[in-house]
A and B are shown apart, each in its own frame.
Chain A
Amino acid sequence: MVATSEPPKASFRLSMLIYDTRYRSLTIQVVFLMLFMAGAAWLIDNTIQNLRALGKDFNYGFLSVRAGYDINQMLVQYSNDSSHARAMLVGLLNTLFVAFLACITATVIGVMAGILRLSKNWVVARLMTVYIEAFRNVPLLLWIIVIFAIMTESMPPPNAFRGDDAASSMLLFDSVAITNRGVYVPEPLFGRSLGNIDIGIFLISVDLLAIIAVITLSVMANRALLRNALRVQEATGLRPTTWWKTILILIAPLVALLVALGFHFGYPELRGFNFVGGTHMRNSLVALWLALSVYTGAFIAENVRSGIQAISHGQSEAAFALGLRPGRTMSLVVLPQAMRVIIPPLISQYLNITKNTSLAIAVGYMDLRATLGGITLNQTGRELEAMLLMMLIYLIISLMISSAMNLYNRSVRLKER
């Protein structure tokens, strides 16, 4: 029983793959996918063949071998007896450290420059324009090298601080020394330290954990205080005085803890060839950090400016009409809305900072590229393995930053109901 009204089934012909619009896009996609897979297979196969021709294998065994070299800046324990994997970790932490510092300062510089560029003060606005255009349009590498060269060539060597009539002297009551080997600043020390916890990979200072815990508790207590004040204000119309309580809650526990731990500063002093004591911020770190901050800060300033200008002028006029001062208008009305425009490009600036830290090669900062992709690669001759691992690590860092910032973006974006 075949229904006669049904249209005759056209038999499938091969040419329909191209001429029939029902199949065409599918055909194109399949062909493209096959070409892509063939290309990838060819690359992998070529690599394997060439490695075989060179008599090399592909393994990551070198990571557990003794590294044998020293690294000048270490955030975790490392010696030349540690493994290449450990050296890689030291480099990775150095990368994250300078990226973290640069993200913070770039944001501060960027937000300030972006707001000041919109200032009604003609001189300030023009100065910010000059800053943004000068730093944005000169390659980052040059800024890194310029700052590094200024630090090494024009700052006094530690020797200049020696003797009774020294050519140079330390700043801020003999606590900070700026030399051509870096900047020495006082370091926080604890006379009655609580020691460290060993969590396998590295040690965590209990003092630091205690400080973080106390600060967190103080902030939470302060929030409760303010919430209570708000409740009283809503119930009675009178807001209780809170400012001295806030200060007491925020500062007193911290001071008490620091006194209990025997907190004091360790000052740098000249001994032997170099300054000893204090925290040594090497030229390479300073140059990389400053250059990344001012360079990316210029881009962030433009993001901030565009974000602010995206907010309708009516918003600030309305705020003025309610009697808000310009500062509060900016912080309470304009910026919260502008954040929605600012944050997505800000994510990519943070990613840029993280990836640009690999320019450390220019100044010999011991980042991931210098340890895993530099000395380890060179001493073990495992180019392919080291490069692939390094690419994977940078990829993971970038994806993590990106997803964290996306989460934040989701929390501040316009809540539509």
Chain B
Amino acid sequence: MKKSVFLGTLSLAALAGGLASAATLDDVKARGVLNCGVSTGVNGFSAPDASGEWQGFDVAVCRAVAAAVLADPKKVKFVSTTGQTRFTALASGEIDILSRNSTWTFSRDVDLKFTFAGVNYYDGQGFMVSKALGVSSAKELDGATVCIQTGTTTELNLADYFKSNNMSYEPVPIETNAEAQQQYLAGACDVYTTDASGLAATRATFADPENHIVLPEIISKEPLGPMVRHGDDQWSDIVMWTLNALIAAEEYGVTSANIEELAKGTNNPEINRLLGTEGDLGAMFGLDKEWGKRAIQAGGNYGEIFAANIGESTPIGIARGLNAQWTQGGLLYSPPFR
């Protein structure tokens, strides 16, 4: 009898613990720091700079969320995760948001119980080879040794691609981007495959980027975006609409240069609602009026973040392509702020 009362109390405590962790927003506010899962270092997307500060395109999403929620883009604790540890870290609550070029797939969304808060980069898997190999198409890679980051969707795409083209290959499974780079440069594999953006970022760090080419074939769709846990809709809404705010800001021409000016009020009600001078959208998900303004101020709008981290003026030099606004022929399309 006593034992069952004891166990009942314990299970109640465990249940209470489970429920308490459901409200991520309250946890983050109480903690005063946003725990953000990033990669172990992909230049331009998430990598520490010379002074140890995390910089990059994926990092900027976390900074914008921290600015919206905690009013300070610096209040982020970055947790580097590998392809294998990232989902466990998110599911266990070690991180509040995973912003680590992770592909939105059906099973990750439905079976792994994660929610993708939109797409911040439309990508596809590509191949990088040394020019010395004289290969100009992925169709010529029969029998090649391929370095691949293990535990990613690229592993499955690769198997499918070679199978459908009746080619064989030798996979060399590798844990992190840095190791893959080392193996590739040492010639232990002929080909390095990952998302095309990752290839461009990796190639930019080589001593001789001109001797390596990314093959024209893009063999998959890889919509990359920030992820949160299932079951906390308030939190997933905050992350999703913070990302939408960055995208909408570019569409409406709100930049970090003119945001103070525009925040005084404009004759465009959409901008006014976004920046909090009209209505109170923030209160609907537990934030204040100026959340959107702060999120945009953290690193600029989507276009500014893109240009500063991975755009054509950076060593990585990625063109906007699919990641242009819908008005420019791209896929970026924020639902209205209303």
Given A180-B186, A375-B150, also A381-B159 (CB < 8 A)? no
Given A34-B3, A69-B155, A180-B186, also A55-B175 (CB < 8 A)? no
Which of these, B7, B142, B144, B172, contacts A364 with CB under 8 Å?
B172
> Which B residues lie within 8 Å of A49 (CB)?
11, 14-15, 18
What separation, in Å, do the CA atoms of A159 and B132 have in the docked complex? 10
Nearest-neighbour CB distance to chain A for B172, whole angstroms, equals 6
Check B18 against A379 for contact (C-beta < 8 Å): no
Q: Is A41 an interface residue (CB 8 A)?
A: yes
Q: Is B209 an interface residue (CB 8 A)?
A: no
Interface size on A, residues (CB 8 A): 43
What separation, in Å, do the CA atoms of A70 and B167 have in the docked complex? 13
Nearest-neighbour CB distance to chain A for B253, whole angstroms, equals 41
Which of these, B83, B144, B173, B188, contacts A366 with CB under 8 Å?
B173
Q: Which residues 101-160 of B have a CB within 8 angstroms of A?
A: 107-108, 111-113, 132-133, 141-145, 150-152, 155-156, 158-160
What separation, in Å, do the CA atoms of A27 and B88 have in the docked complex? 42
Check A370 against B186 for contact (C-beta < 8 Å): no
B-contact 0/1 string along A298-341, CB 8 Å cutoff: 00000000000000000000000000000000000000000000
Check A45 against B7 for contact (C-beta < 8 Å): yes
Check B113 against A55 for contact (C-beta < 8 Å): yes
Check A70 against B171 for contact (C-beta < 8 Å): yes
Q: Is B29 an interface residue (CB 8 A)?
A: no
Nearest-neighbour CB distance to chain B for A96, whole angstroms, equals 19
* Chain A residue with the shortest CB-CB distance to B19: A53
Q: Which residues 267-286 of A have a CB within 8 angstroms of B?
A: 271-274, 276, 283
What separation, in Å, do the CA atoms of A245 and B38 have in the docked complex? 71
Check A152 against B186 for contact (C-beta < 8 Å): yes
Given A42-B7, A374-B151, also A272-B143 (CB < 8 A)? yes
Q: Is B319 an interface residue (CB 8 A)?
A: no
> Which A residues lie within 8 Å of B321 (CB)?
none
Interface centre among B108, B144, B151, B158 (most CB of A within 10 A): B151
Nearest-neighbour CB distance to chain B for A191, whole angstroms, equals 25
| Chain B interface residue bracket vs A | 35 or more
> Which A residues lie within 8 Å of B190 (CB)?
273
Check A69 against B172 for contact (C-beta < 8 Å): no
> Which B residues lie within 8 Å of A377 (CB)?
84
Q: Is B10 an interface residue (CB 8 A)?
A: yes
Which of these, B182, B183, B230, contacts A55 with CB under 8 Å?
B230
Check A378 against B174 for contact (C-beta < 8 Å): no
Nearest-neighbour CB distance to chain B for A285, whole angstroms, equals 12
> Which A residues lie within 8 Å of B21 (CB)?
53
What separation, in Å, do the CA atoms of A71 and B112 have in the docked complex? 24
| Nearest 5 CB-CB pairings of A with B | A157-B187, A53-B18, A378-B151, A381-B112, A80-B159
Q: Which residues of B contact A (CB under 8 A)?
A: 3, 6-7, 10-11, 14-15, 18-19, 21-22, 83-84, 87-88, 91, 107-108, 111-113, 132-133, 141-145, 150-152, 155-156, 158-160, 163, 169-175, 182-183, 186-190, 229-231
**With A41-B7, A54-B231 given, can you name 18 additional A-B contacts, CB distance below 8 Å?**
A38-B3, A46-B14, A53-B19, A53-B22, A54-B113, A56-B113, A69-B155, A72-B171, A72-B172, A80-B163, A181-B188, A272-B142, A361-B175, A374-B150, A378-B150, A379-B155, A380-B111, A381-B112
5 contacts between A and B (CB under 8 A): A38-B3, A42-B11, A271-B143, A273-B145, A381-B113
